[in-house]
C-alpha cells in the first residue's frame, strides 16, 4: 500500500478493500467550517460526518475552530446546568444598583 493509500485509509477515504476510493477527496476548509455546528450536533445532511471528521483530524488551520466550538458548548452547558442565583444575592445586587443610580 502506498503512503497516499495509507493516508486516505486513515482519513476514512478508502474503499472496502483498503484501496483509495478514486473519486473521494478531502473537503475544503470552507466546507468543513460551514458545517461545524451541524457536525457537532450530529445533524449533517450534505456531507458525510466521516469526511468532516477526517478534515478536522488533519487540518491544523481548522481544528482550533472545532475545538473552540466544543469548549464553548461545554461551558454553556455547564453554566446552564448550574444552580440559579440565590434570591438574597439578587436583592443585594439590585440594592447596590439602585444606590449607584441614586448617587448620579
Domain that holds residue 45: 3-103
Residue 16 has a pLDDT of 39
- For the segment 91-96, the average pLDDT, to the nearest whole number, is 88
Cα–Cα distance list, 37 to 2, 33, 62, 74, 97 (Å)? 34, 8, 13, 13, 38
- Compute the chain's Rg from CA coordinates: 24
Contact 36, 74 (CB under 8 A): no
Residue 75 has a pLDDT of 87
Residue among 15, 25, 18, 16 nearest 2 (CA): 18
For the stretch 10-68, pLDDT in tens is: 665 544 333 334 445 789 999 999 999 999 999 998 889 999 999 999 999 999 999 99
- In total, how many domains does the chain have? 1
Model confidence at 103, pLDDT cuts 50, 70, 90, reads confident
Model confidence at 9, pLDDT cuts 50, 70, 90, reads low
Amino acid at each position: 500500500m502506498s503512503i497516499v493509500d495509507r493516508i486516505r485509509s486513515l482519513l476514512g477515504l478508502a474503499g472496502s478493500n483498503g484501496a483509495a476510493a478514486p473519486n473521494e477527496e478531502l473537503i475544503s476548509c470552507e466546507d468543513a467550517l460551514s458545517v461545524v455546528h451541524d457536525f457537532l450536533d450530529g445533524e449533517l445532511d450534505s456531507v458525510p460526518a466521516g469526511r468532516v471528521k477526517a478534515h478536522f483530524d488533519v487540518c491544523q488551520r481548522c481544528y482550533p475552530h472545532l475545538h473552540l466550538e466544543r469548549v464553548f458548548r461545554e461551558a454553556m452547558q455547564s453554566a446552564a446546568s448550574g444552580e440559579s442565583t440565590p434570591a438574597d444575592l439578587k436583592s443585594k445586587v439590585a440594592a447596590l444598583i439602585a444606590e449607584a443610580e441614586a448617587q448620579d
